[in-house]
Structure 1
Amino acid sequence: MNTAVAPSRLFNLHTYGVLKASGPDVTRLLQGQLTCDVEKISPTQSRLGAHCNPQGRIISLFWLYRSKDAYYLLMPHDHVPVALAALKKYAIFYKATLADVSDNYLINGYAGSIKTIASFNDLMCINMPSSPLRHIIFGPAEAIKTHLAFLSSQAEPASANAWKCLDIADHLPAIYPETTAKLLPHEINLPALQAVSFEKGCYTGQEIIARMHYKGKLKNHLYHAELISQDPPKPGATIYYQHQNDIKPCGIIVDSCLKDYNHCSVLIVTDESNAKNNHLFLDHNHHHYFVIQD
């Protein structure tokens, strides 16, 4: 029997950014805006959360972490300005400060034992719910660079694309500027990922989200698919199917990565009947077909 232990890996997540929220009223501000229960967030209990518009559509999606009196929202780097602008509309009514601190923080993914990093001061850690051996580690660049140098000497280097492939295989979605306000939490499986609380009080979009959960019939679902291509499709790109002689749109790309030389791994949103019964493709020329994995 093969008992070899997989080597640890350190992923350079330069594609991530950080929004910092602090101030005396910051918990009240976020609790009234985010889908998750902010009061349950702690240094040992981070969670995926979303900020939605009044129509219940997702503006931003992030990993939420708390350290001392501040919250940190980790998301794609180019989406931080979108998230910041949306939350600032409500922050003016609270004693709270919101700031993009991405340039001052280092963010890495770590695949390995939590014991290796548990004793590192100043290193904040988000544990991935899909795997006990996957963690996002981050902190102020000057404070944690020594810790990262040690990990680099112990772990194999890996890319942000490789980390994204792991996320996609685990059905962990992301929201980008191209997909902001286009998707509902249920369409990308956020309740199952514990990113939506149905026990906390009201928050923006809550009425629509709760109605979908308790009374609605969800049409569109999240699927993991593969695509033969050397170029990962962009988030927000339209998916099509052919109905008789007509080509019709039936969904969108949520996220994608290059799995190997000419295969892409993607998350898509489409309805169940199309996922099961139709050949889905990316362009009108039918050159790029999707193969649904799960």
Structure 2
Amino acid sequence: MNASWQTHLAAQGASFPDEFSVRFGEDERQGASLVAQGTVVVPLEHLRVIRATGEDAGAFLHNLFSNDVKKLGANEAQLNSFNSPKGRMLASMLVWRQGSDYLLAMSADIHAAMLKKLSMYVLRSKVRLLDDGSDSVLIGLAGSQAGAALEAAGLGIPGAPRATASGIASVVRLDGARFVVSTPISEAAALWNKFVASGAVPAGTQAWQWLDIREGLPTVTQPVQEEFVAQMLNFDLIGGVSFNKGCYPGQEIVARTHYLGKLKKRMYRVHAPVGALPAVGTDIYAPDFGDQSAGKVVSAAPAPEGGYDALVVLQSSSADAGQAHLGAPDGPALAFLPLPYALG
């Protein structure tokens, strides 16, 4: 984290439990409660950005990622995955354009490794891949007054989900009332103060992660790298895969899964009871699989009503039966929650 940005957040009451998370004094679920009740502003330190710059940047990314980067407009964003040759996801990311550059926001714990790995593909392409964290930070806004907070700070309001607006900072609209702001470090403190002055309440990392879970939006982190093909994380349902573009690493596996209809796992939203923390990567068990793991936890966060909400990849047959247990065949029972989109 940039030192001046950290100092500013600390002065606003932030604490830093680890390298990639921020808290504002809330207990485990206060942050989620704030999200459920009003508008929040969140330092998105669990995400980090790679900047791709150069005349070949778009074509370079198009040849590596699961989505059609060549069709990404100047005021658009898209979900993408970078896969292993076996089709397993190494990274999930939000991609948008900033002028002629492309910004790739991904989990902070895999950022350095992905920057190194993607750089291995550059060869003679006229593209440079840079760690954007030395120049900018990400801030999240969510809630019914998020648009008003952007307007009060002099920023544009993208009109549709996964649209962007440019100005002193780039704004990406994730969904109806949630925005990611990419701002130069020199503007970050002033923008933060304007968001707070307009009524947004500071909240921590777990609040944003709970919102991702509520929206059925997965993030590939280090514990689950190379565990899932894109469809297992519902990427084909939320706009993260194009089946009409050329080859990319893992494309054959992703396409075969799509066209042959052999997908046996999907991602589901579940609730775990109080005291049953669903750590990322924890195995999920179901009666129809006995002692064999039927799935894994993708992400989890404290829920406003107590306990934890999580996204899990699970055998569809197990989900259809409506029974799943955390960590062991006789572990805590998980309750299934609806997703905001159909699994098809």
TM-score (norm 1): 0.89
Q: Which residue pairs with 2:208 in the alignment? A: 163
Q: Which residue pairs with 1:257 in the alignment? A: 301
d(CA) in 2 for partners of 1:231 and 1:142? 42
- The answer for unaligned runs of 5 or more in structure 1 is 1-5
Alpha-carbon distance change, 142 to 187 in structure 1, aligned in 2, over 3 angstroms: same
Give the drift of 1:42.
Answer: 3.5
Alpha-carbon distance change, 94 to 229 in structure 1, aligned in 2, over 3 angstroms: farther
Alpha-carbon distance change, 196 to 284 in structure 1, aligned in 2, over 3 angstroms: closer
d(CA) in 2 for partners of 1:118 and 1:266? 32
Q: For 1:160, give the aligned amino acid.
A: T
d(CA) in 2 for partners of 1:216 and 1:276? 17
Give the drift of 1:28.
Answer: 1.6
Q: How many residues align?
A: 286
C-alpha contact 2:109 2:221 (8 A) present in aligned 1 = yes
Q: Which residue pairs with 2:236 in the alignment? A: 191
Give the drift of 1:163.
Answer: 1.3
Q: For 1:55, give the aligned amino acid.
A: K
- Deviations along 1:178-211, one digit per CA (max 9) or x if unpaired, are 1111101111111111111122222221122112
d(CA) in 1 for partners of 2:291 and 2:208? 34
Give the drift of 1:228.
Answer: 1.1
Q: Which residue pairs with 1:113 in the alignment? A: 147
Q: For 1:53, give the aligned amino acid.
A: S
C-alpha contact 1:12 1:160 (8 A) present in aligned 2 = yes
d(CA) in 1 for partners of 2:307 and 2:254? 35
Q: For 2:147, give the aligned amino acid.
A: S
Q: Which residue pairs with 1:173 in the alignment? A: 218
Task: Pick from 60, 68, 81 the counterpart of residue 112 of structure 2.
Answer: 81
Greater alpha carbon shift after TM alignment, 12-21 vs 114-123: 114-123
In the alignment, does 2:135 pair up with 1:101?
Answer: no
Alpha-carbon distance change, 50 to 268 in structure 1, aligned in 2, over 3 angstroms: same
Greater alpha carbon shift after TM alignment, 40-49 vs 183-192: 40-49
Task: Pick from 38, 41, 44 the counterpart of residue 10 of structure 1.
Answer: 41
Greater alpha carbon shift after TM alignment, 281-290 vs 150-159: 281-290
Alpha-carbon distance change, 274 to 243 in structure 1, aligned in 2, over 3 angstroms: closer
C-alpha contact 2:322 2:336 (8 A) present in aligned 1 = no
Q: For 2:91, give the aligned amino acid.
A: S
Q: Which residue pairs with 2:227 in the alignment? A: 182
Which has more strand, going by share of residues? 1
1:63 aligned counterpart, secondary structure: strand
What does 1:144-163 correspond to in 2, within 5 Å? 144-154=188-198, 155-163=200-208
Q: For 1:34, give the aligned amino acid.
A: F
In the alignment, does 2:320 pair up with 1:276?
Answer: yes
Greater alpha carbon shift after TM alignment, 19-28 vs 186-195: 19-28
C-alpha contact 1:242 1:248 (8 A) present in aligned 2 = no
d(CA) in 2 for partners of 1:85 and 1:232? 32
Task: Pick from 155, 172, 193 the counterpart of residue 126 of structure 1.
Answer: 172
What does 1:14-33 correspond to in 2, within 5 Å? 14-33=45-64
- Deviations along 1:32-63, one digit per CA (max 9) or x if unpaired, are 00111112224421011111111111110010
- Deviations along 1:47-82, one digit per CA (max 9) or x if unpaired, are 111111111111100100111121111112112123
RMSD: 2.2
Give the drift of 1:236.
Answer: 1.6
Q: For 1:264, give the aligned amino acid.
A: Y
C-alpha contact 1:229 1:288 (8 A) present in aligned 2 = no
Give the drift of 1:90.
Answer: 0.9
**Percentage of identical aligned residues:** 24
Alpha-carbon distance change, 285 to 220 in structure 1, aligned in 2, over 3 angstroms: closer
Alpha-carbon distance change, 224 to 243 in structure 1, aligned in 2, over 3 angstroms: closer
- The answer for unaligned runs of 5 or more in structure 2 is 1-36, 158-165, 339-344
2:190 aligned counterpart, secondary structure: helix
d(CA) in 1 for partners of 2:196 and 2:135? 20
- Deviations along 1:153-192, one digit per CA (max 9) or x if unpaired, are 1122222211111111111011001111110111111111
1:248 aligned counterpart, secondary structure: coil
d(CA) in 2 for partners of 1:125 and 1:230? 37
C-alpha contact 2:286 2:329 (8 A) present in aligned 1 = no
Greater alpha carbon shift after TM alignment, 228-237 vs 82-91: 228-237
In the alignment, does 2:80 pair up with 1:49?
Answer: yes
d(CA) in 1 for partners of 2:247 and 2:288? 42
